[in-house]
Amino acid sequence: MNKFFGTGVAMATPFQTDGQVDYNALRDLINYLIDGGVEYLVSLGTTGESVTLSKDEKKKVWAFTAEVNNGRVPLVAGIGGNNTYEVVNEVKSFDTTGYDAILSASPNYNKPTQEGIYQHYKAIAEASPLPVILYNVPSRTGSNVSAETTVRLAQDFKNIIGMKEASGNFDQLNQIMRDKPEDFLLISGDDPISLPMIALGGAGVISVVGNALPRQFSDMIRLCLKGDFKSAQKGHSSMIEFTRMMFAEGSPAGVKTALKALGVCGDTVRLPLVQVSSTLADKIIKETQKLDQIKSPQG
C-alpha cells in the first residue's frame, strides 16, 4: 500500500460562524493541502470533529470531499466509535466512491480488554469493503491497543493494512516494528515524534500540523523516508514551537486558528470544543506567518 507512505493529513472540518459545515472553505482546504504536496487525505477523523457531525452531515462531507479531490490523492474515511454494532453498520453502508481505506480509532470510554479490542476490529475487518487502518490513541480513548493485539490483527486479517500509532510509547513501537508482517504500515499519529518513528521504520504520518503547513511538513517527512535525517532535522526543529501551540488548548482549535491566519478557512469549532484564547491565538498567528515564509528543503 505505497499510497499511504508519506504525509497524510487528518483534515479539519471548516464551519461557518453559525456552526454549519462551510463547504466552500472545505474545497479551499482540500486544494490547499493537495497543492501543498501531501500524499493523502483523511476525511472526518478526530481532527475533523467527526463526533459532533450528524450521520447525514458525515455522508455529505465524505461525498463532497471525494468530488473535490477527484482522484488526485488517495482518500481515507474516518469511521469509528465505541458501539461495534453501529460502527459495522456504518462501514457496510459507506459509499466507497473515491475512497481507498477506512481509518478506525479503537473504542473510547468503554475501556475494553485486549480481547474486546481484537473482536471489535475483527468485526470491522470482516465487514469492510475497503482496507482498514487501525488507530491507537490512548489519550483520547482511555485504553491502549497493545503491541501484541496490533500484531495479532495484522497477521489475522489481510485487509488490516496499518496502524496509526499515537501512544508515544517507544517500547511498544519497537515491538510492533519487530513483530509485524513486512507489508504492515506503522504510521505516526503524533506529529512531534514522526521523525524518530520513521527512523524505526515507520511509513510516515497522519498529521494535524499538516493542515496548516502541508508543504513544510510533507517535505520534512519525505526527507525522513529518504533517510536524510540531517536535513529533515532542520524542518522538524523549525516546527517544534508551532506544533506545541497546536495542542496547547486542544485540537483542532489550534490548527483552525492557523488556517484562519493563512486565509484558508475560519476558526469556528463545535461545542464542547471552544476557540483558543486570544493570548494563544496571537502567538499562533505570529508563528504561522513566520513559518509560512520559510522555504523548505526539497523532500
Summarised one tens digit per residue, pLDDT across range 208-251 is 999 999 999 999 999 999 999 999 999 999 999 999 999 999 99
Q: Give yes or no: 226 in active site.
A: no
Residue 221 confidence (pLDDT): 98
C-alpha cell at 183: 507489508
Please give the mean pLDDT across all residues of the chain.
96
What confidence category does residue 295 fall into, taking pLDDT thresholds of 50, 70 and 90?
Answer: low
Helix (H, G, I), strand (E, B) or coil at 216: helix
Instruction: Compute the distance between CA of residue 157 and CA of residue 88 in angstroms, rounded to an integer.
Output: 16
Give Cα 113 distance to the centre of its chain. 25
Residue 23 confidence (pLDDT): 98
Model confidence pLDDT, tens digit, residues 182-195? 999 999 999 999 99
Residue 299 confidence (pLDDT): 46
The strand pairing partners of 41, in sequence order, are: 9, 75
Helix (H, G, I), strand (E, B) or coil at 267: coil
Instruction: Compute the distance between CA of residue 220 and CA of residue 192 in angstroms, rounded to an integer.
Output: 12
Using the structure block, give the residue that is written with the C-alpha cell 452531515.
Answer: 57
Counting residues of the chain whose pLDDT is more than 90, the rounded percentage is: 97
Q: Give yes or no: 99 in active site.
A: no
Q: Which of 32, 58, 164, 256 is catalytic?
A: 164
- Asked if 203 contacts 185 with a C-beta cutoff of 8 angstroms, the reply is yes
Q: Which of 135, 180, 256, 260 is catalytic?
A: 135
C-alpha cell at 12: 479539519
- Asked if 156 contacts 180 with a C-beta cutoff of 8 angstroms, the reply is no
Q: Which residues contact 89 (CB under 8 A, 6 or more apart)?
A: none
The strand pairing partners of 75, in sequence order, are: 41
Instruction: Kindly state the average pLDDT of the residues 62-74.
Output: 98
Model confidence pLDDT, tens digit, residues 95-154? 999 999 999 999 999 999 999 999 999 999 999 999 999 999 999 999 999 999 999 999
The strand pairing partners of 205, in sequence order, are: 7, 188
Work out whether the CA dihedral 186, 6, 2, 29 comes out positive or negative.
positive
Entry pTM: 0.96
Instruction: Compute the distance between CA of residue 275 and CA of residue 152 in angstroms, rounded to an integer.
Output: 40
Using the structure block, give the residue that is written with the C-alpha cell 504561522.
Answer: 288
